[in-house]
Chain A
Amino acid sequence: MLGTIDAGTQPAADLAWRAGWQAAAALGVTGFCVPESRGGFGLHVPAAAATAQEFGRALHGGPFAGMTASAHALGSADAPEAAEALAGLLSGTTVVVFGSCGADGVARLVDGAGHADALVISDRTAERLVLFLDSSSWQPEEHLAFDVSRAAADLTIDMARGIDLGPAGLARDIYELLLAADTVGGIERMLERTVDYARERQAFGRPIGGFQAVQHRLADHAVHARGMALIVNEAARLLAAGDDDATRMVAVAQLSVAQGATHLLHDLVQLTGGIGFTWEHGLHLFERRAHQNARLVGNPRAAASRLAQLEGWADDV
């Protein structure tokens, strides 16, 4: 198991998020990717991405990406059980998380699985989505996660007890994109904070942001952060429009953010100096979360090989 380096110092993940969740759900945040006929807003992926960004900025403890992907899957399915689970998800009373498993029936790294009422699992072997309503149908093994703002678990699932929801559809793309959006929100907040710090922190009689060694790196990060945010928005727009290029752009967004975020955030620590290295300052919380987001979607290598396949780079000429 990975991710135990700070096992002795972990604060609890913010499990209090559920207390406020019904109020958030009342605003409609779980229904952005649910058809209007099923009580949602249609396919407003850009709105979902903007919300994921805000949750990322706030280090929100809930599995927003997974719930939105699950809501989309449930809203697109005909099974009667799906309607009931969806109603609970939309009202904020039920937490339905999202994961994916292979032939062994193990779903690795399911975000929020520890407090899930139900699961939507993308069965990669059958390329179908499956709903699990009874918590006795899965066995969690909690991760002592590197990310301390959320909790993930590996689930061993009794696949025979699942309810078929139909073909995979867009749920996985939505899930992956919203995790990238979550990271972008964190990057933007930390970049703003580091720029503020560089404007105010004095060294050798002047603000450190006046030194090129600091200023130029912040400029590069600002350009890169803008690029990442624009890619996430573009992928969201394409998904919402049903564009053929959407899946490819989701892979690009994932790769762009997964590769860029950890480097960028880690350099912000350097630019913030000793204070940035403290637990209290909190930059590390966003680094941990960005790293976890990249793992949840399958890591940069997976995105790269998906892109290679989608763009046909390795096909015989």
Chain B
Amino acid sequence: MTSDIDHYRTEVRAFISNNAHPMAAEGVRAPKDAAEEATIRVWLRSLYTAGYLGAGWPEEWGGQPDHPAVFDLVLMEELILGDAYRPLDQVMLAAHTLIAFGTDTQKAEFLPKIRNADHIWCQLFSEPDAGSDLASLRTRADPEGDGFIVNGQKTWSTDAQWADMATLLARTDPAVDRHAGITAFAIPMDLPGIDVRPIREMTGHEEFCEVFLDEVRVGPEHILGEVNSGWKVVTSGLASERAFVGANAIQLERLFDDLVALARSARLLDGTTVASHEDVQLKLATARARVEEVKLIVHDTVQRILIDEEHASDGPVAKLAYSETNVYLCELALEIISSSVSVDATGTAVADRWRHNFLWSRALTISGGSSEILRGLIGRQLLGLPRA
């Protein structure tokens, strides 16, 4: 198996270095213009065509028999190491949701278009008043004929400004338990009444969007799964490509190496490097210890995922450890930059990247389960504490 993995890694690495569209900066993935959008789609398509993405799908939809889950991890690690534009998780989640809950017609229509990168998907889940507490969402889908009329406002929708399709969650039965009255829909983003407005984030980029749904008419063919079972549909989709979590270890290792490089090149007024000072070495050592802890936590989690013995709290433990340590490293980098008179020969490029990473690090502790939500999950599922 080790030699299979090594072989796969070599192959993937070569593929990436020959074909990849580069990653602009952490978390920046919305195309700048039509030309970039076209090259991103070519790159994503090539990952499916080469069999690196979509390999775990059922064979009838282009998957490969006996695709080892560890290959997904290798792919993600190599994409990070190669600074490549990474696959869009919203699209992969949509694919898994379609495979698990889609009708034959939906699968036949949408899965090939995902493979071909003709369809980018976004998620219309969060709302201004329903973020971490997603089940309190208020966007309504009221029955009309054999379909529904949707009204409401969504927010934090990554890629909505260029997505072709969306997974939408809307309330179809306000009278029942709040989890029970939600339905999932797979809808085209060009339906009349959908208005997308990108939000400028504190990084200066526009990655997230507000999406307004005004009298949007959806048909029975857009329902994903069954009416009022939308909560089950989206929460099961969240469990796909679980081994990707392992790539966080590589990400953090890389960030730490960059941090050491920064400390060794940044100079103080007296000409000494920041790293030559004992107090900084102690901080770097503390950071190193935290990075090693997280790497091992993540590896431990991946081992359990690969043998299907994952505990419900493993994902939250790994994400909390990773994203909080990421913040810690970025804070340390900024501290080093603040106390330096020169950072390196490139002028400001290195400092700018760290400043971006610092700001972006908060996206990781807020989205996809905020640290506070994760601590609650860990408290209940790992420690057996009562619900807060």
Contacts and interface: CB of A to CB of B under 8 A. Distances in A.
Given A226-B317, A230-B296, A259 B289 contact: yes
Given A220-B375, A308-B285, A227 B276 contact: no
Interface string B339-375: 0000000000000000000000000000000001011
Interface stretch (A109-117, A153-161, A207-215, A287-295): A207-215
Contacts of A210: 385-388
B194 interface: no
A34 B294 CA distance: 32
Interface of B: 260, 263-265, 273, 275-276, 278, 281-282, 284-286, 288-290, 292-294, 296-297, 300, 317, 320-321, 372, 374-376, 378-379, 382-388
B294 A216 contact: no
Given A215-B385, A313-B275, A252 B375 contact: no
A215 B282 contact: no
- Identify the interface centre among B273, B282, B320, B372: most chain A CB within 10 Å of its CB: B282
Nearest to A212: B388
Contacts of B320: 219-220, 223
Contacts of B386: 199, 206-207, 209-210
Contact of B281 (A199, A207, A304): A304
A301 to B, nearest CB: 6
A98 to B, nearest CB: 24
A216 B286 contact: no
27 contacts: A195-B384, A195-B385, A207-B386, A209-B385, A209-B386, A219-B375, A219-B378, A223-B297, A226-B297, A226-B317, A227-B290, A227-B294, A230-B293, A230-B297, A231-B293, A249-B292, A259-B289, A303-B285, A304-B284, A305-B278, A307-B284, A307-B285, A313-B263, A313-B264, A314-B275, A314-B276, A314-B281
Given A199-B384, A223-B317, A252-B292, A317 B265 contact: yes
Among B282, B300, B376, B383, chain A packs the most CB atoms within 10 A around the CB of B383
Contact of B385 (A198, A223, A252, A314): A198
Interface in A177-235: 195, 198-199, 206-207, 209-212, 215-216, 218-220, 222-224, 226-228, 230-231, 234
A53 interface: no
Interface centre among B284, B290, B297, B379 (most CB of A within 10 A): B379
Contacts of B376: 212, 215-216, 219
Contacts of A231: 289, 292-293, 296
A199 B273 CA distance: 50
Given A209-B383, A212-B372, A215-B383, 4 more contacts: A207-B385, A210-B386, A219-B383, A223-B378
A255 interface: yes
Going nearest first, the 10 A-B pairs with the smallest beta carbon separation are A227-B293, A304-B285, A230-B296, A209-B385, A215-B379, A219-B378, A256-B289, A216-B375, A308-B281, A219-B375
A212 B132 CA distance: 15
A244 interface: no
Nearest to B386: A210
Please classify how large the interface on chain A is, using the bins under 10, 10 to 19, 20 to 34, 35 or more. 35 or more
Contacts of A313: 260, 263-264, 275, 281, 284
Nearest to A259: B286
B375 A230 contact: no
Contacts of B273: 314, 317
Nearest to A313: B275
A311 interface: yes
Nearest to B385: A209
Contact of B296 (A209, A227, A255): A227
Contacts of B379: 209, 215-216, 218-219
B383 to A, nearest CB: 5
Contacts of A307: 281, 284-285, 288
